[in-house]
């Protein structure tokens, strides 16, 4: 064991070769090339785009209409309200569904069906839902609430179900052992265990929904998005710019507050 | 053991101050927000249960849209937008994330500036990006492409940055000790560690972009959204749902494939 194989030391390790790597690359490049040729995007305008963007940025942010701050904050509050109510509605619907989607609580067939329903709901963007709700509820914030609400059920239900599947079985068995009904089993065996994580997921979804609801106004479902879209359309750039700043600041603010509460919920009270 | 001791339940622990306060806070917020949007449950139920063409169209969608030339072109344009936006955005996102880390940033100024760019890009949602590009560059697919490009940067760089924070620092030290430049250290010591996660984030970004590419057309940024708006304006809900459902069938299939691939990667 004293001689060292010099060749082995100076040789670099062999790169791993797997057949699927070149195939994947070929597929990706072919897709990109197909899109590049096929897309009728008036590429000549791409060269002007940086200048156009710069001009728009200057129009938006050089001379913001601060006298409109109050109105815009009211609009932003409406967006936040839409997001909160939507999240609450989604949570109320998603919780029972998630019991049915959890494999440790419901039968195989039930979980399979409920999960597919949740997946389907998850695939539809809120904006499409808003388009469907606007003719039913009018150009009102309620259309936004319903779009956000229905759009969040899928994701929340799936996340809740995953939390429920990870619980400790002992408390559930204990409730069964003292003769608890099915409902009592959920109330005392399951809910206390999952409540912290579920409320933190609700808050997380609320953060996402604040962004989503700021957008819904663009198509007329209430909130600050509508103001931004209209002022851009009528070239009142000084108002639109301030609106964008308010959206960015408000979403970051909501993230910070809600993130702090989430961490406190999951970590429990800090000691020392 | 006396009977009294058995019958008596253990005292129920009182809820903590935090639980009470946050519960109350949530309740107050719910009441305030319900007022802000004029929440009216009975009106809601009557509005939603009234017979209407939206639901009728959903129950009896017109699948023939895929054979109409204009709808098919919009459909393909949507797919192409998602592919190009994701590809371009992901390529830019990688260096943005790498040079914003503690170990990869050439200096503090670059790091702070990159982090600022990252968080500003991130805080705007997809449709607002599309709206901005439409008003800067004009109506058309180019605006949509730029919107999806920036949106991909946001998604992929955020996720990659989180992974970069958690990597093994050993190879970095080895690279620096061997005298590697910053860039070659990143290439040989950091990149191999995050590549599988990065590829899975790109796939995830593609899923999100596919969904976003359906809606950016609503503000004039190309793709299927323009057709959706067209049908909405004419009240042809059966055609609208036919097109939308077909599209989300494609999204659903892409998602399944992508999830399988992502599982293999990580």
The winner for highest mean pLDDT among A79-83, A106-110, A220-224, B185-189 is A79-83
A252 by DSSP, 3-state: which?
helix
**What CATH code would you report for B61-265?**
1.10.3720.10
Nearest chain A CA: its distance from B19 CA (Å): 9
Does position B29 have pLDDT exceeding 90, yes or no? yes
pLDDT reported for residue A4: 56
Nearest chain A CA: its distance from B164 CA (Å): 21
Q: Is A179 an interface residue toward B (CB < 8 Å)?
A: no
Contact B214 A128 (CB under 8 A): yes
pLDDT reported for residue A228: 92
Give the pair of three-digit tokens for residue A212.
């989503």
pLDDT reported for residue B90: 94
Residue A42 lies in a domain: no
- Residues A84-105 have a mean pLDDT of 93
- Residues A11-20 have a mean pLDDT of 71
Residue A61 lies in a domain: no
The winner for highest mean pLDDT among A51-55, A207-211, B40-44, B101-105 is A207-211
* Chain A residues inside the 8 Å CB shell of B248: 123-124
Residue A5 lies in a domain: no
Does position B250 have pLDDT exceeding 60, yes or no? yes
Give the pair of three-digit tokens for residue B199.
């590829």
* Residue to test with chain B: of A30, A37, A41, most B Cβ within 10 A: A41
Give residue A103's domain range.
71-267
Gap between the Cα atoms of B69 and A104, Å rounded: 49
How high does pLDDT run on average in chain A? 87
- Residues A184-189 have a mean pLDDT of 90
Contact A81 B32 (CB under 8 A): yes
- Residues A169-181 have a mean pLDDT of 90
B residues 50..69 contacting A (CB < 8 A): 50, 52-54, 58
- Residues B57-72 have a mean pLDDT of 82
Does position B54 have pLDDT exceeding 90, yes or no? no
Contact B125 A215 (CB under 8 A): yes
Tens digit of pLDDT for each residue in B9-23? 788 778 888 888 888
pLDDT reported for residue B168: 86
Contact B58 A28 (CB under 8 A): no
- Residues B231-242 have a mean pLDDT of 88
Sequence-distant (≥ 6) Cβ neighbours of residue A109 within 8 angstroms: none
Of A32, A52, A211, the CB nearest to B87: A32
Which among B169, B37, B219 is positioned nearest to A219, based on CA atoms?
B219
pLDDT reported for residue B217: 87
Of A85, A232, A269, the CB nearest to B33: A85
Burial label for B230, CB within 10 Å (0-12, 13-18, 19+), is middle
For B135, name the nearest residue in chain A, comparing CA atoms only: A232
Q: Is A81 an interface residue toward B (CB < 8 Å)?
A: yes
Read off the pLDDT band of B3 (50, 70, 90). Answer: low
pLDDT reported for residue B119: 77
Contact A52 B137 (CB under 8 A): yes
Gap between the Cα atoms of B139 and A81, Å rounded: 31
Residue A112 lies in a domain: yes
Residue A88 lies in a domain: yes
Q: Max Cα separation, chain A? A: 85
Does position A16 have pLDDT exceeding 70, yes or no? no
Gap between the Cα atoms of B134 and B35, Å rounded: 34
Alpha helices in A102-140 (DSSP H): 108-123, 126-137
Residue A90 lies in a domain: yes
Q: Is A251 an interface residue toward B (CB < 8 Å)?
A: yes
pLDDT: is A198 or A64 the higher one? A198
Which among A237, A210, A207, A205 is positioned nearest to A223, based on CA atoms?
A210
Q: Max Cα separation, chain B? A: 85
pLDDT: is A222 or A71 the higher one? A71
- Residues A75-104 have a mean pLDDT of 94
Residue A43 lies in a domain: no
Residue A126 lies in a domain: yes
Q: Is A188 an interface residue toward B (CB < 8 Å)?
A: no
Q: Is B27 an interface residue toward A (CB < 8 Å)?
A: no
pLDDT reported for residue B18: 85
Does position B130 have pLDDT exceeding 80, yes or no? yes
A42-56, A140-154, A210-224: segment of lowest average pLDDT: A42-56
CATH number for the domain that contains residue A186? 1.10.3720.10
pLDDT reported for residue A272: 37
Contact A39 B126 (CB under 8 A): no
Residue for token pair 């409320």? A199
Number of domains in chain A: 1
Does position B4 have pLDDT exceeding 70, yes or no? no
pLDDT: is A3 or A188 the higher one? A188
Nearest chain A CA: its distance from B116 CA (Å): 12
Gap between the Cα atoms of B95 and A69, Å rounded: 37
Q: Is A118 an interface residue toward B (CB < 8 Å)?
A: no
Q: What are phi and psi of B139, to 5 degrees?
A: -65, 140
pLDDT reported for residue B165: 82
Does position A60 have pLDDT exceeding 50, yes or no? yes
Gap between the Cα atoms of B73 and B80, Å rounded: 10
C-alpha A251, offset from chain centre: 13
pLDDT reported for residue A86: 95
A15-29, A44-58, A187-201, B169-183: segment of lowest average pLDDT: A15-29
The proportion of chain A whose per-residue pLDDT surpasses 70, expressed as a percent, equals 93
The proportion of chain A whose per-residue pLDDT surpasses 90, expressed as a percent, equals 42
The proportion of chain B whose per-residue pLDDT surpasses 90, expressed as a percent, equals 14
Does position A87 have pLDDT exceeding 50, yes or no? yes
- Residues B49-73 have a mean pLDDT of 82
Nearest chain B CA: its distance from A141 CA (Å): 6
């Amino acid at each position: 064991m004293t001689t060292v194989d010099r060749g082995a030391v100076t040789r670099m390790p062999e790169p791993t070769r797997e057949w699927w790597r070149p195939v994947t690359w070929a597929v990706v490049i072919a897709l990109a090339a197909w899109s590049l040729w096929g897309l009728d995007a008036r590429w000549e305008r791409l060269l002007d785009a940086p200048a156009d963007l710069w001009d728009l940025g200057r129009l938006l942010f050089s001379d913001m209409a601060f006298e409109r701050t109050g109105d815009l904050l009211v609009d932003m509050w409406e967006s936040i309200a839409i997001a909160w109510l939507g999240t609450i509605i989604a949570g109320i619907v998603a919780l029972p569904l998630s019991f049915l989607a959890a494999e440790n609580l419901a039968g195989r067939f039930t979980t399979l069906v409920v999960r597919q329903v949740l997946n389907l709901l998850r695939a539809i963007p809120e904006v499409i839902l808003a388009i469907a709700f606007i003719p039913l509820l009018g150009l009102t914030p309620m259309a936004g609430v319903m779009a956000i609400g229905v759009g969040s059920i899928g994701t929340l239900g799936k996340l809740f179900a995953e939390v429920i599947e990870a619980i400790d079985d002992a408390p559930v068995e204990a409730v069964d052992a003292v003769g608890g009904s099915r409902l009592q089993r959920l109330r005392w065996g399951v809910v206390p265990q999952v409540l912290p994580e579920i409320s933190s997921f609700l808050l997380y979804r609320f953060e996402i929904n604040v962004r989503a609801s700021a957008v819904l106004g663009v198509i007329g479902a209430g909130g600050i998005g509508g103001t931004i879209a209209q002022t851009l359309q009528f070239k009142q750039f000084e108002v639109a710019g301030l609106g964008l700043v308010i959206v960015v600041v408000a979403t970051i603010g909501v993230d910070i507050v809600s993130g702090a509460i989430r961490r406190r919920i999951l970590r429990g009270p800090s000691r020392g | 053991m006396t009977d009294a001791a058995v019958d008596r339940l253990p005292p129920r622990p009182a809820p903590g101050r935090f639980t009470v306060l946050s519960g109350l806070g949530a309740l107050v917020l719910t009441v305030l927000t319900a007022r802000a949007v004029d929440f009216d449950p009975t009106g809601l139920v009557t509005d939603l249960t009234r017979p209407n063409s939206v639901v009728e169209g959903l129950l009896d969608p017109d699948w023939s849209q895929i054979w109409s030339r204009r709808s098919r072109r919009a459909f393909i344009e949507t797919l192409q937008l998602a592919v190009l936006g994701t590809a371009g955005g992901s390529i830019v996102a990688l260096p943005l994330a790498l040079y914003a880390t503690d170990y990869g940033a050439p200096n503090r100024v670059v790091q702070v500036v990159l982090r600022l760019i990252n968080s500003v890009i991130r805080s705007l949602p997809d449709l607002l990006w599309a709206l901005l590009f439409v008003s800067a560059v004009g109506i058309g697919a180019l605006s949509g492409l730029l919107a999806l490009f920036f949106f991909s940067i946001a998604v992929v760089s955020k996720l990659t940055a989180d992974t970069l924070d958690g990597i093994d620092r050993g190879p970095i030290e080895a690279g620096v000790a061997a005298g590697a430049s910053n860039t070659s250290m990143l290439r040989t010591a950091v990149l191999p560690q995050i590549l599988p996660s990065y590829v899975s984030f790109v796939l995830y970004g593609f899923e999100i972009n596919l969904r976003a590419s359906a809606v950016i057309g609503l503000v004039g940024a190309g793709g299927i959204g323009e057709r959706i708006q067209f049908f909405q304006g004419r009240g042809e809900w059966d055609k609208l749902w036919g097109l939308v459902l077909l599209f989300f069938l494609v999204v659903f299939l892409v998602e399944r494939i992508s999830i399988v691939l992502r599982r293999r990667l990580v």
